[in-house]
C-alpha cells in the first residue's frame, strides 16, 4: 500500500501513480455496482422510495464532477428527477407513474455504465485574442454611443482602447 506525503521519493511517486490509476478505476466500478444494487433491490422488493433515498445519499457522496452523470443516469433508467428542498439540498424524486422496475429494465441499468452514459464534456477553449478583439469592438461602439445612453461607469478613453489594441497586436 502506497503512503502518500509531500516528500515522496521518485519510486514512491511511481508507485503512487499506479495506485491512483487502479483506485480510480475501482471506484468507478464500485459506484456502478452500487447503483445497480440499488435498482436491483428496487426491482426485487418494489420499494421505489428506498431506491430514490439511496440514490440521493449517493448523490451527496459522489464526486461533484460526476453528479450530473448520476442525475442523467437516474433520469433515464429510473425516471428520477433531481430537485432541491426548501433548504437547497438536492434529492431524487421518483415519478409516481414509475414505481416498479422489471428484470429487463434492471438489465438495461446494469448494461449502461454510469460513467459512459453521459460523456465527459470537453474543456471549453478560451481564445484570448478573439475575446480581446470583441471587447475592443464593444468598447469602441460604446464610446461612440449617444451620451444619453451611457452612465458614469462607461468611462472608456481612447488611450485605453489604443492600449488594448497594442496588446492585441503583441499577442498575435
**Gyration radius (Cα) of the chain, Å:** 26
Strand partners, 83: 91
Whether residue 172 contacts residue 129, with contact meaning beta carbons closer than 8 Å, is answered with yes
Domain ranges of the chain: 10-117, 128-171
Which pLDDT score is estimated for 25?
86
Of 97, 65, 63, the C-alpha closest to 80 is: 97
The residue count of the chain comes to 172
Please tell me the pTM assigned to this model. 0.69
Mean pLDDT across 122-151: 86
pLDDT at 172 over 70: no
Highest mean pLDDT among 16-25, 73-82, 116-125, 134-143: 73-82
Question: 7 is written with which cell numbers?
Answer: 516528500
Mean pLDDT across 30-56: 95
**Rounded distance, CA 164 to CA 135, Å?**
9
Report which secondary-structure segment, H or E, holds 94. none
pLDDT at 170 over 80: no
Whether residue 40 contacts residue 111, with contact meaning beta carbons closer than 8 Å, is answered with no
Condensed to tens digits (0 to 9), the pLDDT of residues 7-38 reads: 888 999 999 889 888 888 889 999 999 999 99
Amino acid at each position: 500500500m502506497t503512503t502518500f506525503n509531500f516528500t515522496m521519493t521518485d519510486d514512491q511517486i511511481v508507485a503512487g501513480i499506479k495506485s491512483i490509476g487502479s483506485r480510480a478505476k475501482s471506484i468507478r466500478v464500485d459506484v456502478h455496482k452500487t447503483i445497480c444494487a440499488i435498482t436491483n433491490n428496487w426491482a426485487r422488493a418494489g420499494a421505489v422510495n428506498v431506491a430514490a433515498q439511496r440514490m440521493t445519499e449517493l448523490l451527496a457522496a459522489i464526486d461533484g464532477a460526476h453528479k450530473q452523470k448520476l442525475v442523467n443516469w437516474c433520469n433515464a433508467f429510473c425516471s428520477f428527477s433531481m430537485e432541491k428542498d426548501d433548504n437547497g439540498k438536492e434529492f431524487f424524486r421518483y415519478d409516481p407513474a414509475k414505481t416498479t422496475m422489471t428484470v429487463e429494465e434492471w438489465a438495461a441499468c446494469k448494461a449502461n455504465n454510469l460513467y459512459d452514459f453521459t460523456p465527459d464534456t470537453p474543456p471549453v477553449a478560451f481564445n484570448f485574442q478573439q475575446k480581446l478583439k470583441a471587447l475592443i469592438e464593444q468598447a469602441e461602439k460604446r464610446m461612440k454611443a449617444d451620451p444619453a445612453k451611457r452612465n458614469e461607469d462607461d468611462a472608456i478613453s481612447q488611450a485605453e482602447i489604443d492600449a488594448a489594441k497594442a496588446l492585441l497586436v503583441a499577442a498575435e
